Amino acid sequence: MHAGRLPGTVPGRELRKDAGQAVSQPDARKDETEDFLEDILGFNFRSLRTLRDLLIRPRRVFETYAVRDRETYTPSLRLWLGIISIQVLFSVIWGGYGGILLSQWQSQPESTIASIETAMGGSIEAIAGYYGDVATLLHAIVVGGSTAFSAFLIGVFNKSLSWAARINITFGILTAASVIGLLMLIVAAITGTMAFLNWSIALIALIYWITFARGAPGILARSRTGAVLKGALFSFVTMLLVLLGGAVMAIIGFVYAAIRINGG
């Protein structure tokens, strides 16, 4: 079920010949600049290169994570958190998570809106507002925490991988999908068409599948066919975890809203 033990080095990669030598002054300045950008913005040139390669050539990124190379690419969990932070920022443009929820409710029939308000004891504006308050704080933690369990499945596919490698590969796949999700949010914000997001679940699942299938050969699967089949399984399991995390987040958000509306 797993791809066997990994080689000691990544195929096609050579160790730097200048390893252990003094770093030149221009290189030192470049490193300082990248560190400064990462400290201020959460991203630097290495982060952008990592995002690019996750979308264009994920196998190279997976290989690097598999051998625990911490220099070539940015750790994927850090990238994922950065992308999620940007998503939250863009969602605030139209009122945050509460604004998204309110837009969805306002498109429903009056009878549905009345049922929601009766059940919660308040207006949909108040409900969405309180939900948005807690979702802004907890959404990334709850949903991200649930999808992190996909790392166990990565471990099943290749038991020789370290836990750091499993986490990095898992969140590398999640990051690739989050970039697409961010682009969808931007388009929705610009066009004002929230219905556009109704396709997000199917598209995100497809990105999970494609990224895994392209990155897995030789690392998580022995063949292209195996990578495609395992990618489908990974996508299915991860989407279940996303939906589970979303359900938990909804319960927390609506319970909080009900408590606040009813004087708690």
Does residue 214 form part of some domain?
yes
Does residue 2 form part of some domain?
no
Does residue 47 form part of some domain?
no
Does residue 135 form part of some domain?
yes
Does residue 70 form part of some domain?
no
Does residue 62 form part of some domain?
no
Does residue 37 form part of some domain?
no
The domain containing residue 123 runs over which residues?
Answer: 75-261
Distance (Å, whole) CA 253 – CA 138? 9
176-189 pLDDT, tens per residue? 999 888 888 777 66
Does the pTM surpass 0.85? The reply is: no
pLDDT of residue 13: 45
pLDDT of residue 220: 96
Q: Which of 2-16, 69-83, 122-136, 198-212 has the lowest mean pLDDT?
A: 2-16
pLDDT over 80 (residue 39) = no
pLDDT of residue 38: 60
- Structural domains of the chain, count: 1
Does residue 246 form part of some domain?
yes
